[in-house]
C-alpha cells in the first residue's frame, strides 16, 4: 500500500513557507498601521487643544460665538410683540373712541416693524 500524500509533503512545505512569509509581511504592516494611528491620535489631540485655544481667544476678543448669537432672542421677542400687537388691535376695535388705546397700539406696531427690520438686517446672508 502506498501513502497517497507522500508526494504532497513538498507542496505543503512550500505553502507553509509562503504563509509564514505572508504572516511576517502582515505583522510589519500592522506595526506601520499602529505607528501611523498613534501619530494621528497625537495630531488629533494637538488640534483639539489648538481649537480650544482659538475658541477662548475668540470669546475674549468678542468674535462670533454661536451661543451668544442674539438673533434667536430677537426673533422670539418679535413673535411676542406681533401677538401682543394683534391683541391690541382687537382692544382698539372694541374701544374705538379711546385715543389712548389707539395711540399705544400705533406706537407698539411702529416699534414692532422697526424690530422686524433690525432682525432682517441681522439675519441677512451676505
Q: Say if residue 102 is exposed, middle or buried (CB neighbours under 10 Å; 0-12, 13-18, 19+).
A: middle
Q: Would you list the domain boundaries of the chain?
A: 6-61, 69-123
Which residues 6+ apart lie within 8 Å of 78 measured at CB?
112, 115, 116, 119
Interval 92-123: pLDDT, tens: 888 888 888 888 888 888 988 998 888 888 88
* Cα separations in angstroms, 69 against 63, 73, 122: 11, 8, 10
* Eight-state DSSP code of residue 65: -
Task: Give the predicted TM-score (pTM) of the model.
Answer: 0.42
Quick check: 91 pLDDT over 50? yes
- According to the 3-state scheme, what is the secondary structure of 67-88? HHCCHHHHHHHHHHHHHHHHHH
Between helix 71-94 and helix 99-123 the angle, nearest 10°, is 160
Amino acid at each position: 500500500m502506498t501513502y497517497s500524500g507522500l508526494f504532497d509533503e513538498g507542496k505543503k512545505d512550500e505553502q507553509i513557507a509562503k504563509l509564514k512569509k505572508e504572516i511576517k509581511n502582515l505583522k510589519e504592516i500592522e506595526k506601520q498601521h499602529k505607528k501611523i494611528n498613534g501619530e494621528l491620535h497625537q495630531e488629533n489631540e494637538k488640534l483639539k487643544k489648538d481649537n480650544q485655544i482659538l475658541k477662548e481667544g475668540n470669546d475674549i476678543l468678542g468674535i462670533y460665538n454661536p451661543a451668544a448669537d442674539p438673533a434667536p432672542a430677537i426673533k422670539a421677542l418679535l413673535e411676542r410683540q406681533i401677538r401682543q400687537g394683534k391683541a391690541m388691535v382687537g382692544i382698539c376695535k372694541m374701544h374705538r373712541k379711546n385715543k389712548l388705546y389707539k395711540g399705544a397700539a400705533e406706537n407698539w406696531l411702529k416699534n414692532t416693524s422697526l424690530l422686524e427690520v433690525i432682525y432682517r438686517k441681522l439675519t441677512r446672508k451676505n
